[in-house]
Amino acid sequence: MLHAENLSKSYHGKCAVNQVSLSVHSGQITGLLGPNGAGKSTVLRMLNRILIPDSGNIQFKQKPLTAQSVQRFGYLPEERGLYRKMKAGEQVMFFAALKGLSRKSCREQALYWFDRLHLMPLWNTRIEQLSKGNQQKIQFITTVVHGPDVLILDEPFSGFDPVNVEQITRELIQFKGSGKAIILSTHNMENAETLCDRIEMMHLGNHVISGGLSELQKNQATHSYLIEYRGLPMAFANALWASAEILHQEPNVQAETHRVIIRVSEGHTIRTIIQQINQSVELVFFKVQVPTLREMFMNQIQNKAVPYA
Amino acid sequence: MREIILIARREFLARIKNKTFLFMTVLSPLLMVGFFVLSVYMTQMESTQHRILVIDESRLFMDRIPNKASLVEFEYSNEVLLDAEQKFSERGYTALLWISPNVIEGGAGACKLFYSKIPGYALQNHIRTALEKIVYEEKLLANDIQPEVVRNARQHIQLILQQVGQKGSYADADGMRYLGFLMAALMMVFILMYGMMVFRSVLEEKQSRIVEVILTSVRPVKLLIGKISGIALLGLLQFICMGLLTWLLSQGLRQTYLSQSIKLYEVYKSQQATVFKNGAETDFSKLSRFDENLELFDLFKKAETLAFDHVFWVFVAFFLAGFLFYSAFMAAMASAADTEADAQQFLLPVHLPLLAAYFIAVQGMLNPDAAIVQWASWIPFTSPVVMISRITSGIPLLTTVFSWLVLCISFGIMILWSARIYQNGVLNSGKKTRWLDLWRWTKKHH
């Protein structure tokens, strides 16, 4: 639905985003991940036409992105802001009207969302009198009130308590189910892992990882395995010899077993290692170690310090 | 266009619902009229009662100095000054007025006022005027001239300026120049006051980051135009309300405070007409005397000659155009600021030309044809203030319209320039903006 190709943006000669490409598909949640200063917000601003890229192009539904198409987007920036003196209901209706809704639709949609997020009693309350959590909810409503095709959310869960995180998560899943394209920028890896169908990872302005979560886990496989055995640790170590490296081990006193994480050395296979282990100790449990998103993220940050172009 | 209306409507409603707006709209005219009444009242008020002993050695003033409505009472005595000076306060007098025998020849020390309670300015003025008038009449009589003849022969001449072929722009040469000066000051205050609303609004949206969401729906130039027009409408409404309220208050004041004077003025005008018509054949003994009201009548006459409606509309037109121009400029400056402290620095380029315009307007009062005044009437940074200060000096209508058009066109250029600064400035948070950055933003698209 939304496709950006080779986006670049510099500020005062410093490159903030360098040749970044990404795609957001209908009915999918794409996670844009990266540490602070990775260039995520700049990419999101370019997708919203708040910033014009120095180079590259963005297409929405196979057509160049226009101001008109951005009206079909809902944008929740990282640093939230509402008119403090304005009443909650008026505020939501104002933003809905700016997105092109008729006066009647503005009211209907605003009422629908206030009801849905249990905010109806706060319709006539000034923003400055609301709790932070409720202000965040109002901000979320202003993003979705016009029924956008694309949702661009920068840290949507920040400032929410676990109950509200759960509620917003449910809403996002529902949006996804109704065919909306969602792009989600977050530092919360657990959320991203649960919600996102695709991951786009950025570091220092560069695009470092891209793809579906399982695809990435496969690509980023570390050839590590979790093994639980009963027997002598010395016998286990001898069985491995030079075919694998022990990364971590701990005894399971209750079960009288040992838990070990091993990484298979180059030129060896897990099949032969298992055979060797079976001859020396009793194999109780075996599992392939899949890298988590957090591990992939940390791995990228620590190993791929790409200098600014 | 829809977005502009939406933004303008929000700005307008957000402010008009504010209690401060209502308070300012009602309070300002009350304060303006109140200050005027108070200042007049204070100068006239003489709450202390005075009993003044008069020792008139010239014998010209005996029983001729008028008492002042139970507040000032003159009593005459033939005592020697030295004795009276010692004892006048013991005898219940608040002051002793001594008039020398040769007062008619004048000179310093011809009259002296000894006091126990300090006499106010109004009392001093009353004594001085009364003495001067008596001496004046005595001198006329000494030359066989009846004072009534001279009094009725006085005619105030007004010099009306009107350029050949121009209509609508005329003025009393001397009288209403001060009004122009006052309007220049008002213009500066209004432009700054409403300009600051735009400045604060931009700064608030930038600091709260709300602008980032708005910019996904509205182009920066439209956002600026909407914001400025909303506040301009508010300013216009407030200005008209304040003007109307001031007019109503002054009408009330006129009915209560000046009604007697206005009636007298009408009589005075008809008398003047009779004297003009009949000349020497006029029976002066039947004419009323208005000596104490002549200064006020002079003011009435000057006010009658000024085209107030013309001045009002010119003020409104220049206020609107001047506000639009300056608020666009101030919006750009606000977008560059990141904190309140920063804002002060970026307000300097706004304050300086307005202050300069005010000083040029002062210069224009003394010399309306000075080259700097002429130039400042065309430069958009100074023209709203300077032109309005000159309007009472008889500026041709065409010149006024032309200067206003230049100001309007300059607003168009300013808003485009401002939008460029704005779209870069509002997204530049957490980093102090330098003047050089403004220059870069002028050239670079966001």
- Picking from B17, B216, B428 by the largest number of A CB atoms within 10 A of its own CB, the best residue to mutate is B216
Residue B88, Ramachandran bin (φ over 0: left; ψ between -120 and 50: alpha; else beta): alpha
What per-residue confidence (pLDDT) applies to B267? 79
In chain B, what residues touch A67 (CB-CB under 8 Å)? 219
The answer to the question of residue B44 being in a domain is no
Q: What are phi and psi of B107, to 5 degrees?
A: 95, 160
Question: Is the same domain home to B244 and B180?
Answer: yes
Hey, which residues does A287 pair with through a beta bridge?
A226
What are the structural domains, with CATH classification, of chain A?
2-218 (3.40.50.300), 223-289 (3.30.70.260)
Question: Is the same domain home to B10 and B89?
Answer: no
Tell me if chain B has a CB within 8 Å of the CB of A85.
Answer: yes
Eight-state DSSP code of residue A27? T
The answer to the question of residue B82 being in a domain is yes
Exposure string (b/e) for B139-173, b if CB count within 10 Å is 16 or more?
A: ebeeeeeebbeebbeeeeeeeeeeeeeeeebbbbe
- Picking from B211, B217, B222, B444 by the largest number of A CB atoms within 10 A of its own CB, the best residue to mutate is B217
Nearest CA distance, B222 vs chain A (angstrom): 12
Question: pLDDT tens, position by position, for chain B (446 residues)?
Answer: 888 899 898 888 888 887 888 887 888 778 877 777 776 666 555 566 788 889 988 888 888 888 876 678 889 988 888 888 888 888 888 889 998 888 877 777 788 888 877 777 778 888 888 888 888 888 888 888 888 788 777 766 656 555 555 454 444 545 566 677 788 888 888 888 888 888 888 888 887 778 888 888 888 888 888 888 898 888 888 888 887 887 788 778 777 767 777 777 777 777 777 776 776 666 666 666 666 666 667 667 666 666 667 777 888 889 889 999 998 898 888 888 877 777 788 888 888 998 899 888 888 777 777 788 888 888 889 988 888 888 777 677 888 888 999 999 999 898 888 888 888 787 776 677 777 777 777 776 55
Q: How many domains does chain B have?
A: 2
Question: Is the same domain home to B121 and B179?
Answer: no
Question: Is the same domain home to B237 and B347?
Answer: yes
Of B14, B217, B445, the CB nearest to A71: B217
What per-residue confidence (pLDDT) applies to B390? 80
Eight-state DSSP code of residue B438? H
What per-residue confidence (pLDDT) applies to A61? 85
Query: Chain A residue closest to B18 (CA)?
Result: A85
- Picking from A41, A46, A76, A83 by the largest number of B CB atoms within 10 A of its own CB, the best residue to mutate is A83
The answer to the question of residue B273 being in a domain is no
Identify the CATH number of the domain in which residue B119 sits.
3.40.190.10
Nearest CA distance, A116 vs chain B (angstrom): 23
Per the listing, tokens 């009004």 go with: B179
Question: Is the same domain home to B113 and B210?
Answer: no
CB atoms B210 and A83 under 8 Å: yes
In chain B, what residues touch A95 (CB-CB under 8 Å)? 213, 217
- Structural domain boundaries, residue B80: 50-145
Of A70, A81, A83, the CB nearest to B216: A70
Nearest CA distance, A204 vs chain B (angstrom): 19
Look at residues A195, A278, A184 and name the one whose alpha carbon lies nearest to residue A240.
Answer: A278
Of A12, A50, A71, the CB nearest to B212: A50
What are the tokens at B102? Answer: 């040769």
Q: How far apart are CA B78 and CA B71, in angstroms?
A: 23
Look at residues A181, A199, A186, A179 and name the one whose alpha carbon lies nearest to residue A160.
Answer: A186
Cβ neighbours for B192, distance < 8 A, ≥ 6 positions apart: B326, B350, B351, B354
The answer to the question of residue B260 being in a domain is no
What per-residue confidence (pLDDT) applies to B322? 92
Nearest CA distance, A88 vs chain B (angstrom): 13
What per-residue confidence (pLDDT) applies to B405? 93
B240: how many CB neighbours lie within 10 A of its CB?
A: 12
Q: Which one is predicted more confidently, B33 or A122?
A: A122
